[in-house]
Structure 1
Amino acid sequence: MRLVEIGRFGAPYALKGGLRFRGEPVVLHLERVYVEGHGFRAVEDLYRVGEVLILHLAGVSTRELAEALVGLRVYAEVEDLPPLEEGQYYYFALVGLPVYVGEEQVGEVADILDAGAQDVLVIRGIGERLRDQRERLVPLQAPYVTVEEGRILVEPIPGLFD
């Protein structure tokens, strides 16, 4: 079993145990989720109120029970995730991939940040160019970043890897 984080619970919604869900829309395709410290819970209902996704879990039927889950991380089993179209990737699958500029490996993906307008790769340096192991932030944006099988190619952005 391999779990990946897909989001967090926000504030309760209404009185019947609903929770605002902040995270990956992949939750729309799941029958169950793993709740930090509470184990697997079946997803009983899922709907949108405006732009907000509301999630109801088995065993959480009151606002008080929902309040106990606010802020907790929500995970999914990798095997439960729906397949993606060619050229699409789950972000957790990118973490740990080597990053290249040209033919030179300059680091590996340490994390991916949600920066609002776009996501950002956190690249931990290795090798001659980044001996200090500092982290560099690179916008995950085409055509500057290309994901290939087993690696990520970054166009040389002036000053980024100097």
Structure 2
Amino acid sequence: MEAPTRRVEIGRLGKAYGLEGALKFRGEPVVLELQRVYLEGLGYRAIREARTLNQEIVLYLAGVRSLEAAQALVGLRVYADVSELPKLEEGTYYYFELLGRPVYVDGKPFGEVVDIQEGPQDLLVVRAKGSSLRARHKTYLVPLQAPYVRLEPEGIQVEAIPGLFE
């Protein structure tokens, strides 16, 4: 029996662009390297063309050739098969690969990554491990690009700095 295809969300379709069925894309720039995407509720669509325009990504999808057809897709979530994502350099990760990873503070087990908040500075949302109800619901925000955060094969190592886990 074949293993099920694993997909990850890479973005959403934004506003229709132009009269020939193009759509602005809000999400991971990895879409520029893909041959196809999976659209929420509709299935796979080949990418006819993907390009950047004024620091935005514009997609032309197979079967979408008019403004009206593009407008019908606005807001849909866009997924990619994990097996089709480009390989990254060693030591770098896609964000979805960080979810569920253990977090160590000063070398001691602390918790796990439960979400990532994207913004001007991307933040790991870390849930502490603990037996109390309060501990299981408490989360901490850790800047992903901070010099005191290291992504390592066994997990995410964080050097405790004052105020980070208070």
Classify 1:39/1:60 alpha carbon distance in 2 versus 1 (closer, same or farther; 3 Å): same
Q: 2:125 aligns with which of 99, 108, 122?
A: 122
Equivalent in the alignment of 1:138: 142
Equivalent in the alignment of 1:26: 30
Q: What's the CA shift for 1:128?
A: 7.0
Distance 1:142 1:78 in 2: 27
Distance 2:148 2:69 in 1: 46
> What TM-score do you get using the length of structure 2 for normalisation?
0.91
Is 1:111 aligned to residue 96 of structure 2?
no
Q: What's the CA shift for 1:86?
A: 1.6
Equivalent in the alignment of 1:6: 10
Q: What's the CA shift for 1:156?
A: 0.5
Equivalences, count: 161
Distance 1:60 1:95 in 2: 34
> What TM-score do you get using the length of structure 1 for normalisation?
0.93
Can you list the C-alpha shifts for 1:89-146, whole angstroms capped at 9, x where unaligned?
A: 111000000101023211100111112x221101111137972531111110142110
Alignment of 1:55-94 (within 5 A): 55-94=59-98
Q: In structure 2, what residue type is equivalent to 1:125?
A: A
Structure 1 runs of 4+ aligned residues shifted over 3 Å read none
Unaligned runs of 5+ in 1: none
Give aligned-pair identity as a percent.
56
RMSD (CA atoms): 1.6
Distance 2:73 2:60 in 1: 12
SS in 2 for 1:147: strand
Distance 1:132 1:2 in 2: 28
